[in-house]
A and B are shown apart, each in its own frame.
Chain A
């Protein structure tokens, strides 16, 4: 029998119970929630099992656990925090400071989750999408603007196989592939679209319900982001990300696309546009479609900044640095992003391309393995086994013991008895709080 376990720590804003530590208060330092021992349940807080995926939203969080019951592995979905709009999926609206099993998913295998400001998306192993919570901007995708206190399947994408979902403040992105043909992917979006975060052209949006001269745009039925579906030469979307009024995607070529609200006061982008790294040297591309160092493996968005991980393990950032969330020594100087107006030349080098202004996050030793952006703070895990945090700290979301902002990545020390080298680490930032999960497979 496997003795896998998870270690989980949380810190930051906690007044809605989002830290899952049985308290309704902020925590300025990391608190270990439990040992996550797969073989035995711990008494409160009711954490047990291995965390397979997790998502942190505005003030709630949801996790997928594998729990060992009498030697039999069972999957469980748990949620906690702000329950006001039903985003926890328990059929009620009270806040929970202790994780509670979402009974709806007993018998349904959930493979990934996403959390927005007050809504939640669940993707099942069989490729179905369920949503619950606030739908006031159409972000649940059910064709209406009501809230759902328990998860409902999004029928409009039921003919597709849903691979993953991403939730922004009030919008949702869904990555699908045609059943049986994973090489054909599509991205669908729904919810609030006024800042361009749905990736639909203005023309498309004008034909939607609730568009008017008053500019507020809500889309309650999933719409295909055509720009990302029709990529040339079998380039497919592999990852979508959203937060605030921003959206992003990474393709199988490692190309990064960003759309939605403009960073640092720039105008909004209504269609996905490829981000090119201005800092990368203008080396000749060695093959068509491979252009310099513009290859990314992961992207995470805040409300005013973004983080992208290069294939070489270098972490890049862009956007507002007002609270230090970009992680450079440039102080409060904002870092604007510009987008290439055209795609890379098929052959030849990229010297003439207009590169965006990304900056390398300072103070990361070794390779960055994974990063996460909260609303105004950031966290990263390095191959040296350190968790580093920077940005806004008013609610203790940096876990450094105080409430100051930190402009350069600092190591946060995690309490507990563990060997960090034997663990697989992940970090999840909510709006004003942070979770770190470390999985051990003996």
Chain B
């Protein structure tokens, strides 16, 4: 039985393993590669134990990359109550459709950011 259902946004991309990972209760990591996601695989296994999780994701996000023009950063901005401007753009380093969001008074003064 699947230990848990985990959404892909809750998983970490691990460059060294070449896989998306999520903590396993044994102390190791559940792992699934982009290649597996492309084939529609939804089980991420832990190399150290018998447990596995079901990864919840949109398979379309992992199909072969679209044309270059679609990969160009697309920026949206909005201003919140405090006057800070939030910028959201498609992360150009990632073909998975994940977006990069940062907050700053101007785009050149980034005070917080991250892939989500």
Name which residue of chain A comes closest to B27, CB basis.
A59
A433 B10 Cβ-Cβ under 8 A: no
Interface residue SS majority, chain A? loop
Interface residues, chain B, with chain A CB atoms under 8 Å away: 7, 9-10, 12, 23, 25-28, 48-50, 80-81, 88, 99, 101, 103, 111-114, 116
B101 A432 Cβ-Cβ under 8 A: no
Please choose the segment from A10-18, A35-43, A180-188, A251-259 that sits at the chain B interface, where 4 or more of its residues have CB less than 8 A away: A10-18
Name which residue of chain B comes closest to A392, CB basis.
B25
Q: Is A218 an interface residue (CB 8 A)?
A: yes
Name which residue of chain B comes closest to A135, CB basis.
B114
Q: Is A402 an interface residue (CB 8 A)?
A: no
A433–B26 alpha-carbon span in the complex (Å): 8
A58 B27 Cβ-Cβ under 8 A: yes
Q: Which residues of A, 365-388, contact B by the 8 Å Cβ criterion?
A: 374-376
Name which residue of chain A comes closest to B80, CB basis.
A207
Interface residues, chain A, with chain B CB atoms under 8 Å away: 13, 15-16, 18, 58-59, 82, 117, 136, 143-145, 169, 192, 194, 207, 209-210, 212, 214-216, 218, 220, 303, 374-376, 392, 394-395, 430-433
A112–B25 alpha-carbon span in the complex (Å): 24
A375 B12 Cβ-Cβ under 8 A: no
Residues of chain B with a CB closer than 8 A to A15's CB? 27-28, 48
Which A-B residue pairs are the 5 nearest by beta carbons? A375-B25, A59-B27, A145-B114, A432-B26, A432-B27
Nearest chain B CB to A260's CB is how many angstroms away?
14
Residues of chain A with a CB closer than 8 A to B26's CB? 13, 375, 394-395, 431-432
Residues of chain A with a CB closer than 8 A to B116's CB? 210, 212, 214, 216, 218
A145 B27 Cβ-Cβ under 8 A: no
A58–B24 alpha-carbon span in the complex (Å): 9
Residues of chain A with a CB closer than 8 A to B25's CB? 303, 374-376, 392, 431-432
Name which residue of chain A comes closest to B14, CB basis.
A84
Residues of chain B with a CB closer than 8 A to A143's CB? 111-112
B114 A431 Cβ-Cβ under 8 A: no
B49 A212 Cβ-Cβ under 8 A: no
A136 B12 Cβ-Cβ under 8 A: yes
The CB with the most chain A CB atoms within 10 A, among B10, B27, B103, is that of B27
B101 A210 Cβ-Cβ under 8 A: yes
A430–B81 alpha-carbon span in the complex (Å): 42
A374–B116 alpha-carbon span in the complex (Å): 29
Residues of chain B with a CB closer than 8 A to A395's CB? 26-27, 48-49
Nearest chain B CB to A287's CB is how many angstroms away?
42
Nearest chain B CB to A405's CB is how many angstroms away?
11
A143–B113 alpha-carbon span in the complex (Å): 10
A59–B12 alpha-carbon span in the complex (Å): 17
A145 B12 Cβ-Cβ under 8 A: no
A117–B80 alpha-carbon span in the complex (Å): 33
Name which residue of chain A comes closest to B98, CB basis.
A214
Nearest chain B CB to A208's CB is how many angstroms away?
10
The CB with the most chain A CB atoms within 10 A, among B7, B49, B112, is that of B112
Nearest chain B CB to A217's CB is how many angstroms away?
9
Residues of chain B with a CB closer than 8 A to A215's CB? 7, 9
A117–B26 alpha-carbon span in the complex (Å): 11
A433 B27 Cβ-Cβ under 8 A: yes
Residues of chain B with a CB closer than 8 A to A82's CB? 27
Nearest chain A CB to B25's CB is how many angstroms away?
3
Nearest chain B CB to A282's CB is how many angstroms away?
36
Residues of chain A with a CB closer than 8 A to B99's CB? 214
Residues of chain B with a CB closer than 8 A to A392's CB? 25
